[in-house]
Amino acid sequence: MSRRLRILTWHVHGNYLFNLTQVPHDFFLLTDPAGSPGRAGRVGALPWSDNVHEAPIDQVADMPFDVVLYQHRAGWDEDRPRWLSEAQRRLPRIYLEHDPPQEHPTNTRHWVQDEGAMLVHCTHFNALMWDAGITPTRVVEHGVRPLTQERWQGGLERGLVVVNHLERRGRRLGADLYLRLQEQVPLTLVGMGSEAMPGGFGESSQLTLPRQMASHRFFLYPVRYTSLGLALIEAMLIGQPVVGLATTELATVIRSGENGFIDNRPQALADAMRQLLREPGLAAQWGERGRQTALDRFGIDRFVADWMQVLHEVTT
């Protein structure tokens, strides 16, 4: 694609957005004075490039765009009819769905029912679970541009768990499993609201989290049902070995005993984590093989190429 596109979107998942903006087009983030959810603009510690701009909500209807990339339901249901002009609503449009269905896991019809739109999923599992109805769909798997050059050392004999608001989000994100396993194996919980739970460290910025990953012996992913976590991929990219549940897309990423360990038996997870604490050499082997898996499957160049293809499809 030779033409540089002007893409209107929302700041929904900061880490994903940072990787998305490695695509060589111009991205305009809808903003409001209050910095409301999804309208925060260029915020945080991420090193935004000069192709990332802001689009004030009271001016957006008069701004020229080539594509509108929706990322949450409020953007589609509320912002689109209220703030976008009629011409902007007719532009090539993509809905980027970050999660699997939150209601019924297999029988939920996606709210975007539009033959002229494109519904893009982050994992093949998510695409399998959603009923897309009449909306064309594509899958663009995650891609990650590392923010630091950290590499795993694993000298701290603890596991690391990275989940925001784990106590509030409960069983779906594995709060009960974390509490159960934390009694058997030393674990550190990082993320917003983590201080409320045993082993909670608090929130870490995107620039300091890689150092914590590099120091901890392994990465525990207790999540039952969600999209594939970017933090998990970031841990793999620095060579930190991963232990998790054999559910959702992770079952296609980790081969137990080769590049990490997955199982649906909590006791098997505890046994694997204890083994990694006893055997740092095994942790290094799993971590290095996991790193190669992540480089091969979740590299930023493949991600950019996939998004370039999607944008080509919707604009031609």
Query: Which pLDDT tens digit goes with each residue over 135-144?
Result: 999 999 999 9
Query: Which domains are delineated in the chain?
Result: 6-143+299-315 (3.40.50), 156-297 (3.40.50.2000)
| 8 A C-beta contact, residue 11 and residue 38 | yes
- State percent of the chain over pLDDT 90: 95
SS3 69: strand
Answer whether residue 151 shows pLDDT above 80.
yes
pLDDT band at residue 45, thresholds of 50, 70 and 90?
confident
| Span 152-167, average pLDDT | 97
pLDDT band at residue 61, thresholds of 50, 70 and 90?
very high
- Rounded CA separation 210/274 (Å): 23
Answer whether residue 312 shows pLDDT above 90.
yes
- Rounded CA separation 236/221 (Å): 12
Q: Give pLDDT, residue 138.
A: 98
Classify residue 229 by its DSSP letter. P
Answer whether residue 290 shows pLDDT above 60.
yes
Q: Give pLDDT, residue 67.
A: 98
Residue of 95, 52, 56 whose CA lies nearest to 72: 95
Q: Which residues pair with residue 131 across a beta bridge?
A: 109
- Rounded CA separation 120/139 (Å): 6
pLDDT band at residue 27, thresholds of 50, 70 and 90?
very high
Residue of 211, 213, 297, 209 whose CA lies nearest to 255: 297
| Other Cβ atoms within 10 Å of 81 Cβ, number | 10
pLDDT digits (tens, 9 = 90+) for 84-112: 999 999 999 999 999 999 999 999 999 99
Number of separate helices (H) and strands (E) present in the chain: 12, 13
Helix axes 266-278, 175-182, angle to 10 degrees: 50
Answer whether residue 1 shows pLDDT above 60.
no
pLDDT digits (tens, 9 = 90+) for 105-123: 999 999 999 999 999 999 9
Average predicted confidence (pLDDT) for the chain = 96
Q: Give pLDDT, residue 272.
A: 98
pLDDT digits (tens, 9 = 90+) for 196-234: 999 999 999 888 999 999 999 999 999 999 999 999 999
Answer whether residue 38 shows pLDDT above 90.
yes
Q: Which residues pair with residue 220 across a beta bridge?
A: 243
